[in-house]
Every structure is written in C-alpha cells, then in structure tokens.
Amino acid sequence: MEFETKAIHVGQEPDPTTGATITPIYQTSTYTQESLGKHKGYEYSRTGNPTRTALEAALAALEGGKYGLCFASGLAATSTVLCLLKAGDEIVAGNDLYGGTIRLFNRVFSNFNIKTTYVDGRDSKNFEAQITSKTKLIWLETPTNPMLRLSDIKEVSQIAKKRNILLAVDNTFASPFFQKPLDLGTDIVVHSTTKYLGGHSDVIGGAVIVNDKKLHEQIKFYQNAVGATPGAFDSWLVLRGIKTLAVRMRKHAENAQKIAEFLEKHPKIKKVNYPGLKSHPQHELAKKQMSGFGGMISFEINGGKDLAKKIVESTKLFALAESLGGVESLIGHPDTMTHVGVPKEQKDKLGITDNLIRISVGIEDVNDLINDLKQALGN
C-alpha cells in the first residue's frame, strides 16, 4: 500500500460496532467489563483508547514502522523516551534542536543526573568523538530547528549500532512524507504531531514510532506509567490531519522552494537556510535522504533586532506566532521566541542571532505569500 492510501486507511477500517466510516471519537475514560478481568481490550483510556489506537497504527504505517505510540505533546513523547535512561547515563545530541527540547535536557533531565553533550550534527564523526561508556542515546533533529541543518541519519545510525547505543531522530520538520528515519537505521522516531501531522494548528500532540518489539514494550510501559497520553478528541484531530498529509506536504514544499529562491535574491537578505536550495551546503545529503525539502525556511537579514522586529510585525498573511506545520503561514524570531530558553553561548555558536527570522510556509497561494514578504521587507 502506498503512502497516500495508508494515511487514509491504516487503522481506520469502518468501526466494528456501528460501521461508522470515520473512526469515532471514543470520548470515554473507562470501559465496562463483562465480568472481572473480561473485556474487549480496553480498561482505562490512559492505557489505551480506540481512537488513539487508530492513530498509533496509522502513524506507524506512515513511518514504515511496526509500532506507534501517541502522547499529549511532542515534549511528552521526548520525555517518555528519556525514561529509558537511568541516572548516570549520557546523551549525545545534535546542538541545533527545538529550544524546548534543549530546555528539557538541560533543566529537567540533568536534575536526574542524565547529562547531555551537544555536537555539531553536520559531521557524523562529532557524535562518535563524544561517545563515552555512559552514552546510551544519540538524539538528533534533521533538518534542524531553526537552522535547517542536516545530519546523515544512515552514518549516525551505523555509529550508534556499532556501540549498541540507541538513536532517536525527531522527524517533525520533514514529516514521514519526506523522510523515513527507520529505513535509514534509526531506532526511535519522535514527532511533535502538533506540526505537519496535525497540520491545522488546532491540536498539541506527540508520537514515537519504533520497529523493535522490546523497545515498543518498554516505551509503552512508560507511556502508561508516566501518563502523558493524548485525549480521544486530540487523537482524532491528528488522525483527520494525516489523511491530507501528502497533498499538504507537496504544496508546503513547492511554496517554500519558490519563497526560498525569492528571499535568496532579495537585497535585504544576507543568507537563506533551506535544504532545497542549491546553495545549501548539504543539498546533496538532503537529496539523498529526503524525498522533498519541507516547508520551513530561516533567513538572516542585513540588519539587527530592530529591523527583524519590524519585518515580523509587518507581515499580514504570515502570522507572528510560535509553532509550524499548519496550512497557514507563520513567521517568528527564534532568538526571542522558540529558542529563548537556549543558553546564549549555544545560540551564538549556532547562528541563532537577533537578525534570524524563521518562517513556516503554509499552503496559501505562493504569489500572495511572496507579495506579503515583499511588503514586509520594504520591497
């Protein structure tokens, strides 16, 4: 079955009790047992809920994985994966990650004596160099948020496998439509389903997809034991969103390519970060491990914070907002918004400066979007 068909059908067979074509929202916290211990597979909705089950099956299929698990947010998914570690264990992570992920590593899990070392993920050897006998997990985003840098998933997975270390890839920016980390050797795929999978900026959610049965059982145990699970309605919204993932992603990427090319020629712009541009230093890797380049762009302007502020406050179609991946276009200032919690030295090293702007390109008409950026940039 091909991707578009899976998105609409896997886990979403007609409801067995009523024939409802669309998976119902099982808005129940509990399930009545026929007799003590005899039930239809569901006892309590933190542990399992049929709407969530449908979503978990669909997401697993889209990533080409065997098992899916859903969470109340992307960070809930990440936190639950980190429960696989014990005090004294270490993580080696790419240094360019969503600010909230860095905050979680540096200010929450560090309190449990789980140390994270950050490396420039563009060179796989950097991961290898930081691995110690305590390293249990390699964590990366590719493309990264907000610099749109790439890691070579296959190479890093070979390094991880050789040392018996788990590799987790946050696949939020690419979505499974453009990149399948499990096929490239990743053990754990993580998503903020808030973004492209949900697709309409109306739900917060997260997911984990794995192939290994034992790993699935462990994370499923923590899913229930920690309890950061999504409600039935939120699961349903993501399930509804993914039915159109393929058509949306094609349009996001088509629009983003044109906008990146427009920005690259604009005199007020110093540098554009988009993996689909030939000028992107890792364009060849992007072509190798992705089937499209997504809808996220960041760019540096010739100017400082005042000009950046003026631009992000002047767009009319691009809403000044955190988040990404919805049908509507968004604009933001990573330094003071999504990455405000990242230590300044780390931001300086990465290039998350006060003249960096990030856009999430929606699926509106591309000429309207370009005209909006033109007027915000002052033509």
- Residues engaged in binding ligand P1T (CB under 6 A): 73-75, 98, 100-101, 141, 145, 170, 172-173, 192, 194, 204, 206, 322-324, 338
222 is a catalytic site residue: no
Residues 6+ apart with CB under 8 A from 266: 377
- The active-site residue out of 26, 67, 98, 118 is 98
CA–CA distance, 23 with 275 (Å, rounded to integer): 36
Whichever of 123 and 322 has its CB closer to ligand P1T, that residue is: 322
Q: Which of 46, 103, 154, 240 is catalytic?
A: 46
| Nearest-approach distance from CB 118 to ligand P1T, in angstroms | 15
Residue whose CB is less far from ligand P1T, 98 or 318? 98
Kindly give, in sequence order, each residue whose CB lies less than 8 Å from that of residue 44, ignoring residues fewer than 6 positions away.
29, 30, 31
Least CB distance to ligand P1T at residue 178 (A): 14
Q: Is 98 a catalytic residue?
A: yes
Cα distance between residue 292 and residue 170, in whole Å: 17
For residue 364, the minimal CB distance to ligand P1T (Å) is: 19
Nearer to ligand P1T, 70 or 369 (CB): 70
Q: Which of 122, 195, 248, 358 is catalytic?
A: 195
- Active-site annotation holds for 240: no
Q: Which residue is associated with the tokens 């591309």?
A: 366
| 264: its two tokens | 């690259």
Q: Is 195 annotated as catalytic? A: yes
- Within a 13 Å sphere around the CA of 282, how many CA atoms are in the beta-carbon half? 22
Nearest distance from C-beta of residue 194 to ligand P1T, angstroms: 4
Residue nearest to ligand P1T (CB): 74
Q: Are 89 and 134 in contact (CB under 8 A)?
A: yes
Integer angstrom CA distances of residue 70 from 9, 43, 92, 151, 240: 18, 17, 24, 25, 15
- Distance from CA of residue 307 to its chain's centroid? 29
- Rounded Cα distance between 46 and 67, Å, is 17
Supply the minimum distance, in Å, between the C-beta of residue 216 and ligand P1T: 21
Q: Which is nearer to ligand P1T, 45 or 193 (CB)?
A: 193
Q: Which is nearer to ligand P1T, 188 or 324 (CB)?
A: 324
Angle, to 10 degrees, between the axis of helix 366-376 and the axis of helix 245-265? 40
Catalytic residue among 96, 152, 170, 335: 170
**Catalytic residues, which ones?**
46, 98, 170, 195
